[in-house]
Amino acid sequence: LMQLAVPLNFIGFVYREIRQGLADLEQMFGLLDVDEEVQDAPDATPLVVEEGAIRFDDVHFAYDANRPILRGISFEVPAGRTIAIVGPSGAGKSTISRLLYRFYDIQAGSITIDGQDVRDVTQRSLRSAIGMVPQDTVLFNDTIMYNIRYGRPSATEAEVVRAAELAQIADFIRSLPDGFDTMVGERGLKLSGGEKQRVAIARTILKSPPILILDEATSALDTHTEQEIQASLDLVSKDRTTLVIAHRLSTIVDADEIIVLQGGMIAERGTHRELIERSGLYADMWNRQQEATEAEERLRRAREED
């Protein structure tokens, strides 16, 4: 019977997630690995977002007790500002976004939004206040209209089209034989990484949350697509509190603050300019990426000349 209890419990968990309109989140966050569900406190109240200021205060976190991932992280994202988190692979960047969503509870410290601890508010209210543009967007086997409207099921068709326009994907959709009625997902039209990401951006534009998490794709997009996506992301994040998990440093030069994470601690922090002047870890990462981009450009030009 015990063997059955675990999957049943898990199915119950998944069902509740779907009911909350979060069907794709567990996949986005790799939640399938989670064996313990975070529960609402008995006296949990809905989160009240007045400005949307985020604060991490001396946060300690480990997935496994004997392997600390975050070791005393403190930072603030003032309302309406953009903070970028960078650092080597495995540094704990995505973990920070999962903790803000309260997919896990921290071992010490606190995470607050407008002064309310994420452990004291209902998960439903917390998650509806946060919009997420993930690394890999999961599409439903349904129309593109449905997939975008998922951001706000009550949205009208005109609002969905407007969101697609703002996310710079409307022209592409109109070029498809069935337009917005085109079936996508595993059994429909397969979209490229960049197209899927723009669907996620359109969804988020519809949802219009006060707080945004942008988890940048690791996979390289071509420069043109990257610029288009950046333009639509700049548009969504304007005037919203935004946390960017960045892999390509070129996309975050304008962030209000850049936090460089290494070994679960903040190694450096400052604006792009301050960090470049420091000639530390960030400056090294920046120079390496610049060299790689230039090498790619040279290779591309050489190919074009052939």
Backbone angles phi, psi at 187, to 5 degrees: -95, 0
Shortest Å distance, C-beta 63 to ligand ATP: 3
Q: Considering the rule CB under 6 A, would residue 92 count as an interface residue with ligand ATP?
A: yes
97 vs 180: CA distance, rounded Å: 31
- The answer to whether residues 235 and 249 touch, using CB atoms and an 8 Å cutoff, is no
Candidate segments 89-97, 126-134, 155-163, 168-176, binder of ligand ATP by CB under 6 A: 89-97
Give the strand pairing for 211-215 and 241-245: parallel
- The answer to whether residues 142 and 184 touch, using CB atoms and an 8 Å cutoff, is yes
Q: Please select the residue that binds ligand ATP; options are 22, 69, 118, 133, rule is CB under 6 A.
A: 69
Shortest Å distance, C-beta 216 to ligand ATP: 9
Q: Considering the rule CB under 6 A, would residue 63 count as an interface residue with ligand ATP?
A: yes
Candidate segments 49-57, 84-92, 177-185, 236-244, binder of ligand ATP by CB under 6 A: 84-92
Assign 134 to helix, strand or coil. Answer: coil
Q: Please select the residue that binds ligand ATP; options are 28, 75, 95, 201, rule is CB under 6 A.
A: 95
Q: Which amino acid is at 276?
A: I
Would you list the DSSP string of 220-289? PPPHHHHHHHHHHHHHHHTTSEEEEE-S-GGG-TT-SEEEEEETTEEEEEE-HHHHHHHTSHHHHHHHHH
Site string for ligand ATP, 157-196 (x = CB under 6 A): ----------------------------------------
CA distances (Å), 255 to each of 63, 88, 100, in order?
A: 29, 18, 19
CA distances (Å), 17 to each of 95, 106, 123, 171, in order?
A: 20, 21, 10, 33
Q: Considering the rule CB under 6 A, would residue 105 count as an interface residue with ligand ATP?
A: no
Assign 148 to helix, strand or coil. Answer: helix
Q: Please select the residue that binds ligand ATP; options are 28, 73, 93, 116, rule is CB under 6 A.
A: 93
Count, residues near ligand ATP per rule CB under 6 A: 12
Candidate segments 46-54, 86-94, 163-171, 252-260, binder of ligand ATP by CB under 6 A: 86-94
Candidate segments 76-84, 85-93, 109-117, 268-276, binder of ligand ATP by CB under 6 A: 85-93
Q: Considering the rule CB under 6 A, would residue 94 count as an interface residue with ligand ATP?
A: yes
Site residues, ligand ATP (CB under 6 A): 30, 33, 63, 69, 87, 89-95
